[in-house]
Structure 1
Amino acid sequence: MDQKKFDAGLKVRREVLGAAYVDKSIANADDFIKPMQELVTEYCWGEIWTREGLPKKTRSIINLAMLTALNRPNELKLHLRGALRNGVTKEEIKEIFLQTAIYCGVPAALDSFKTAQQVFAEEDE
């Protein structure tokens, strides 16, 4: 493991997903899932999210569309919260999901709209 990339990834991951969530994920990682937590932190966050080519807001927009296409609601919840932290507005999220309805399918987009409603309600509390 590249400790420098892991540390940089951990910093960005905490900024986007929230320190409490990230710290809990790492603390609760047993021997089975620990390698996956390390891989995600080092490569997804330390290698890609730290690149200068795209701002975090754009990366969040792309992730919302891809997670809708892949129909991954658990990851979508995390990245919805991250998108809000990265400055993506609810109006922009709505437009992202309308766009995905055409290119990824209406059922996938509907699930994303429903997931977003849940996240927005939790964030508004």
Structure 2
Amino acid sequence: MNTPADFDTELFNKGLAIRREVLGNAHVDRSLAAVDEFTAPIQKLVTEWCWGEIWGRPGLPRKTRSLMNLSMLAALNRPHEVKLHVRGALNNGVTREEIQEVLMQVAIYCGVPAALDSMRVCVETFREIDAAAAGE
């Protein structure tokens, strides 16, 4: 990992550990390998504050945080982040049925188009996960 020296803080390292546990090493390694002078500040911010500070708080279990993230990202119609957080949610013990229920709730309260786009992303992600598990 070729990251700037200012990444080596207690909060960054805490966030990095949580980020790896939720999203997996492969994703985190790809993100950090792509760090350059322009993207370094956002990677530091996300790792420290999103993962270290917020995901590291004891007030909610990771499964609940994952369900909340999926609902917010679906409502915002952010397919790349939905895809990423579907994988994270599964790692945090969320079931496919629970993800389906989140998207049904999103459809009613945030709009059917956002829910449909997120449903498509989930189906694609499930297929990728199933294919990898089957060794395809």
TM-score scaled by structure 2?
0.90
Q: Which of the numbers 114, 118, 123 marks the counterpart of 2:124? A: 118
Matches within 5 A, 1:1-80: 3-80=9-86
- Give the aligned partner of residue 96 of structure 2: 90
Distance apart, 1:23 and its partner CA:
1.3
Percent pairwise identity: 62
| Larger Rg, first or second structure (1 or 2) | 2
State how far apart, in whole Å, the 2-side matches of 1:20 and 1:90 are: 22
Q: Deviations over 1:31-89 (max 9, x none)?
A: 11111001000000000001100000000000000001111000110000000000000
The size of the alignment, in residue pairs, is: 125
Q: Deviations over 1:76-111 (max 9, x none)?
A: 100000000000000000000000000010000000
Distance apart, 1:17 and its partner CA:
0.6
Unaligned runs of 5+ in 1: none
SS in structure 1 of the partner of residue 93 of structure 2: coil
